[in-house]
Structure 1
């Protein structure tokens, strides 16, 4: 084969192989633990497609929905279906870098949410768990008809021994049957 034909075909084949290699990742939603950017940990924002990092856990249903180009997280649970442990219900795992940066600091957790259109929850429960060293307990806050911010502050305990897995549990308060809520954004702030 002549060089004039061989090198263009080799380049074309290499480009096709690169495109085939990256194709499975195109358009995939992020999964796994929520991590920081490695530089600024004063404000961690979970929004848009990153809301897909939720772990449904237990008998809850967590689903990323897209409306008009915006992503929202829908969480639904039935009465008496969720455990008191935040990692056994809908939650976000917080990566080791966030655990280290928030250890021994005051954290503010802000959730922008609203009741779902059908069987909407009146209240939301949020729990920041630092694993074996402690947790905030379930903080119950009222929801408004439209999107609004609810927040609480928590003194994150110092890491003791090996790192564990910090989680942020979020779920609707379910007095009977089932209830649901819609989340637009979650912000974790490291306060001075």
Structure 2
């Protein structure tokens, strides 16, 4: 084998190994808790592929779809299938850094949502939970067939001194009076008061 053929084969083998190492993560979507990493914590936006961080947390169907040319999270729930606990239904898990930043400060949460085309809900419910012990309570928002912003505000309690930060949760689900209902969420923006 000549040097020219040998080096060409070695180069092709190296290129194939690099491609095999890189390609599995090429189209993966982010998962895990929402964090404020790489931000100044004044505005944390969850949109696009980041919506994949949403957790079904119960008997609900969630999926990323395209709606009005943008990525959106579709949340579909059947009547009488979910517990009232926000953690046991569709929700975002907020990482420990956000729990630390949000504690004792009013947090403005803007949810851009609309009714789904099929089984469209007329209302959605939102609930902020600090662990499983303290929650804001469910607040209802009327939604239509057009994307619009719904603003939810709540002040999570101060952390007890000497305790470690935990996870917070933001539950979002359609109001389901009968059969099943679905909503589309285009973005969720967290803005703590300064």
> TM-score, with normalisation over the residues of structure 2?
0.90
The aligned counterpart of 2:188 is 186
Alignment-derived partner of residue 167 in structure 2: 165
1:28-43 alignment, distance < 5 Å? 28-43=28-43
Alpha-carbon distance in structure 2 between the residues aligned to 1:159 and 1:13: 55
Residue 135 (structure 1) aligns with = 135
Structure 1 residues 62 and 51, CA gap change in structure 2 (3 angstroms): same
Q: Which runs of 5+ in 2 are unaligned?
A: none
Alpha-carbon deviation of 1:118? 2.2
In 1, the alpha carbon distance for the partners of 2:150 and 2:39 equals 27
Q: Secondary structure at the match of 2:177?
A: coil
Q: CA RMSD in A?
A: 1.8
SS in 1 for 2:64: strand
Contact 1:136 1:154 in 2 (8 A): yes
Aligned length: 192
Q: Please give the residue correspondences for 1:1-192 in structure 2 after superposition, counting only pairs within 5 Å.
A: 6-67=6-67, 69-132=69-132, 134-160=134-160, 161-192=163-194
Unaligned runs of 5+ in 1: none
Give, in angstroms, the shift of residue 34 of structure 1.
Answer: 1.0
TM-score by length of 1: 0.91
Contact 1:75–1:181 at 8 Å: present in 2 too? yes
